[in-house]
Amino acid sequence: MNDYTKYLASRVTAGGLSRREFMGRAMAAGITLAVADKLFTESAEAAEPKRGGHLKLGLEGGAATDSKDPAKFLSQFMFCVGRCWGDMLVESDPLTGAAVPALAESWEPSKDAVTWTFKIRKGVKFHDGKELTIDDVVATLKRHTDKKSESGALGVLGSIKEIKADGGNLVLTLSEGNADMPLLLSDYHLVIQPNGGVDDPLASIGTGPYKLTSFEPGVRATFEKNKDDWRSDRGYVDSIEIIGMNDATARIAALSSGQVHYINRVDPKTVNLLKRAPNVEILSTAGRGHYVFIMHCDKAPFDNNDLRLALKYAMDRETMVQKILGGYGKVGNDFPINATYALFPEGIEQRVYDPDKAAFHYKKSGHSGSVLLRTSEVAFPGAVDAAVLYQESCKKAGIEIEVKREPGDGYWTNVWNVQPFSTSYWGGRPTQDQMYSTAYLSTADWNDTKFKRPDFDKLLLQARSELDEAKRKDMYRTMAMMVRDEGGVILPMFNDFVNASTKQVKGYVHDIGNDMSNGYVATRVWLDA
Amino acid sequence: MTNPAPSNILPGLRLRQRFPLLALILERFVLSIILLFAVSILIFGGLEALPGDFATTYLGQSATPQAVANIRQDLGLDRPVTTRYVEWLGNAVQGDFGTSWASKNSVSEQIGKRLGNSLFLAGFAAVISVPLAVGLGMFSVHFRNRMPDKIINVISLAAISLPEFFIGYLLILFFAVKFGIATFPATVYDSMGFAERLKAIALPTATLVLVVLAHMMRMTRAAILSVMSSAYMETAELKGLSAFRAIVKHAAPNALAPIINVVALNLAYLVVGVVVVEVVFVYPGMGQYMVDAVTVRDMPVVQACGLIFAAVYIFLNMIADILAIIANPRLRHPR
């Protein structure tokens, strides 16, 4: 069983895929009818979710500084906590990444994708018994789009010009067309709260499957089941306990001794050791996060496209995935999009390690002497090792790289986005548009490669408001080619999300949206006694 | 002519002559306050000099210039350093450390909880390790250069050479993962009963005891041995006292000063130096609180932790000095 069918099977198990859909997809992936049939039956048998039990998660990323205000959710810990008690208007499909209804039942764009009308679900109750109204929805979005807001979603929602209620519907008017608007509302900060959380942002009252019963920042959060949940296909366990564990060894020890059922952030270096524990299952999900080597296109010597190409050809991507990610990842192709995105441009040739081509372009660039690469362990796990590996693969192409290890403290302020050649990490974004808008648009604040191309910008804006998917896909292809062949990013790999659970945990959904089953892990799994 | 007029003596000097002990204690106390004040300047200045600031670090890659500017203005970071320092110190003296920038919770309230946890763990470790260390020290002096002494020496040397996280991991591996008899993680929380709490901290306590035991024990041993070589110990021996009685009655009291010192130092370590142990055992104490705050540059929290850590160190050292002075009357009259 390859990753994809395993994945399909887990979707069946989670109840998210019908027999017809499953057979279609499995056979498209080259599986014979008989095997697919057997696989479906097995997965469907495992699909009967059991209710009850106390689920314990040990998560990295909690801190004493965490805030209960959804606008300020930042850590992995709060991401998961928020998904337990709150709902957004829209969710993303775990398999395709497309927008699917949550508190918004359906939506309709205007022809230019400037005005969006969302129909809000009726009969949904908050934890305090109050019914969800359109006013709560409007107030929530207003709070997050306020220019004075400290919300983490402020940047995502920047193009919203007007938010108003029209009968039972929510009407959003944008400053420019955006075909991805529904997906943007699935951002984990945008938890719908009573009166938008204006009265008490820290109350943690939502419409989610669990009620928060206790919370100590950086230590622990506990939940009990919300008996009035509006959905029946989630929230299988009776109670949840999320414990903050920032030490990797502590997480592994807690999992292998059975003290917790699930841990996140398993270090690729130790994953093979953890695999040997009898009761442990490794859960690896393809993600959008990627590790990058960033060259500033506007600074010498990186303002020379031949030098940039030389450095791209000198990257041994396969070795990187094997050595740095322990195999838990996919090779990159020098543009920040992979197959987990909707409208992924297929058929672009994979760039491979080619010392001869690298040497050719290097010679053509006319550059001589060494190239200074700055790195630090905080850029991504194993960044220093990756830099040294790269130094070796460049050597074979006759390019000399000088690796400078920078202190982790202040790396994001003093090196990333400041120095012309450095290592970095991107977490990925819900849509291609957002990924490009955040890091490749000429005017973007985080345009860390200083890639400035008016034709690229124009295409990006065009694609944003294009509702015809085929046309849009084509535009994204052209953009990907521009970044790949002329951009300043060397993108050797996309990292998988590597988590682990005990074998009692069933129904885990490998969600391409984000880590930890897109944060929904606690609400989607059940415990097998 | 022979007696100097009393009016010529400074009042402070007079106090010192009449109540030498009290004067010394007062002096140490005032000195501690000054030291704490100096430390507060260092903490504040040091944090100002750190690269990176709260707004950008906290928002990370999701930071937009607008959000960053909002936060800076909100926190009053645009005001001059001196103004902020004076304000902070003024409030801190009254026990108010402000609110955390990140979580908007009261720092004093949170520290109350965290410090309580740290003191609980440290106190428990101290209750076990101090008597054990002093007892073992005397024991090994009694058997000096014989088998028990050598065994204790080797074990304590081994324990002192292993880093605490390693000891911690070993204990976790054996007692939590392999045998499954100890509780792990050692997370404690509000609604936990006392017995449950004790069970939860068993492993971190054991780690801490192993880490500090050797230091205190070896110091006790060395101090007593150095006293043993003095003439009055020979006298004690000659007048027929049993070896054990000689150690407890005559040697130990005279070795108290260095022992008190090393005990104080280790107690301070138990409170402020256990960051690694807290992280390994997922124990919500002060160390982890401060580490969390440093990573996002949550200044009010870092400053408060820094100041409290400094206060604990200074206070324990002061107590050690005073106890040493009481234990050894010669120290009261500096020559």
Q: Please report the beta strands in A159-298, taking only residues with DSSP state E, as ranges in sequence order.
A: 160-166, 169-174, 210-216, 220-225, 239-244, 262-263, 280-285, 290-295
Q: What single-letter DSSP state applies at residue A278?
A: T
Strands A90-92 and A489-495, bridge-based pairing: unpaired
The more confidently predicted of residues A26 and B10 is A26
Indicate the pLDDT class of residue B232, thresholds 50, 70 and 90: confident
Q: What is the DSSP letter of B6?
A: G
CA-based end-to-end distance of chain A: 26
pLDDT given at position A255: 94
The residue among B59, B217, B10 whose CA lies nearest residue A74 is B59
Is the CB of A414 less than 8 angstroms away from the CB of B51?
Answer: yes
DSSP, res A436? H
pLDDT of residue B52: 65
A427 touches chain B (CB under 8 A): yes
Question: How many whole angstroms separate alpha carbon A119 and alpha carbon A102?
Answer: 11
Residues 386-415 of A with CB under 8 A from B: 409-410, 412-414
pLDDT tens profile B64-109: 677 777 777 878 777 888 888 898 889 888 888 888 887 778 888 8
**Residue B31 pLDDT exceeds 80:** yes
pLDDT in tens, A332-378: 999 999 988 888 998 999 999 999 999 999 999 999 889 999 999 88
User: A259 vs B185: CB contact, 8 Å cut-off?
Assistant: yes
Q: Hey, of A60, A202, A219, which one would you mutate to test binding to chain B, going by the most B CBs within 10 A of its CB?
A: A219
The residues in A 113-152 lying below 8 A from B, measured between CB atoms, are 147-152
Ranges of beta strands (E only) in A139-289 are: 160-166, 169-174, 210-216, 220-225, 239-244, 262-263, 280-285
Mean pLDDT, residues B265-275 taken together: 86
Q: Do B185 and A243 touch (CB under 8 A)?
A: yes
* pLDDT above 60 for B237: yes
Residue B328 DSSP one-character state? -
Q: Look at the block and give the residue holding tokens 């030498």.
A: B20
- Pick from A149, A249, A445: CB nearest B65: A445
Which residues of chain B make contact with A261, given a CB cutoff of 8 A? none
What H or E segment, with its residue span, contains residue A495? Answer: strand A489-495
Q: Is the ipTM of this complex over 0.95?
A: no
Note the pLDDT of residue B4.
47
Neighbours of B298 (CB within 10 A): 26
User: What is the C-alpha separation between A244 and A66, in angstroms, rounded?
Assistant: 11
Give tens-digit pLDDT for B100-150.
Answer: 887 778 888 888 888 999 999 999 999 999 999 989 988 898 888 899 999
Which are the contacts of B238, defined by CB distance < 8 A and separation ≥ 6? none
Q: Do A219 and B187 touch (CB under 8 A)?
A: yes
Residue A486: the pLDDT is 95
User: Does B331 have pLDDT greater than 90?
Assistant: no
Pairing of strands A239-244, A220-225: antiparallel
B107-331 belongs to which CATH class? mainly alpha
What radius of gyration, in Å, describes the C-alpha atoms of chain A?
23
Q: Which pair of structure tokens corresponds to residue A175? A: 């400053």
Rounded Cα distance, B221 and B241, in Å: 20
Task: Report chain B residues whose CB lies below 8 A from the CB of A148.
Answer: 70
Determine, for residues A63 and B191 on separate chains, whether the beta-carbon distance falls below 8 Å. no
Hey, is A267 helix, strand or coil? Answer: coil
Q: Which residue stretches of B201-285 are H helix?
A: 202-228, 231-238, 243-245, 252-272, 275-280
Q: What are phi and psi of A398, to 5 degrees?
A: 80, 15
Of B35, B33, B34, B21, residue with least CA distance to B322:
B21
What is the residue-averaged pLDDT of chain A? 90
CA-based torsion, A443, A444, A447, A451: positive or negative: negative
Q: Which of B221, B211, B228 is nearest to B267 (CA)?
A: B211
Interface of A with B in 461-520 (CB under 8 A): none
Q: Do B292 and A218 touch (CB under 8 A)?
A: yes
- Tell me what pLDDT residue B189 has: 84
Output the tens digit of pLDDT for each of chain A's 529 residues. 456 666 666 666 655 566 667 777 766 666 677 777 776 766 666 668 899 999 999 999 888 888 899 998 888 899 999 999 999 999 999 988 889 999 999 999 999 999 999 999 999 999 999 999 999 999 999 999 988 887 888 878 888 999 999 988 999 999 999 999 999 999 999 999 999 999 999 999 999 999 999 998 888 999 999 999 999 999 999 999 999 998 888 899 999 888 999 999 998 888 888 888 889 999 999 989 999 999 999 998 999 999 999 999 999 999 999 999 989 999 999 999 998 888 899 899 999 999 999 999 999 999 988 999 999 988 888 899 999 999 999 999 999 999 999 987 778 778 888 899 999 999 888 889 989 988 999 988 789 999 999 999 999 999 999 999 999 999 999 999 999 999 999 999 999 999 999 999 999 999 988 899 999 999 999 998 7
Tokens standing for B14? 């007079």
Residue A1: per-residue pLDDT = 47
Nearest to B254 by CA among B246, B243, B265: B246
How far apart are alpha carbons A410 and A196 in whole angstroms? 35
Q: Do A244 and B282 touch (CB under 8 A)?
A: yes
Question: What pLDDT does B1 receive?
Answer: 44
For residues B284 and B297, give the distance between their C-alpha atoms in angstroms, rounded to a whole number.
19
| Residue-averaged pLDDT of chain B | 84
Tell me which chain A residues have a C-beta less than 8 angstroms from the C-beta of B279: 246-247, 250
If phi > 0 it is left, if psi is from -120 to 50 it is alpha, else beta; for residue A15 that is left
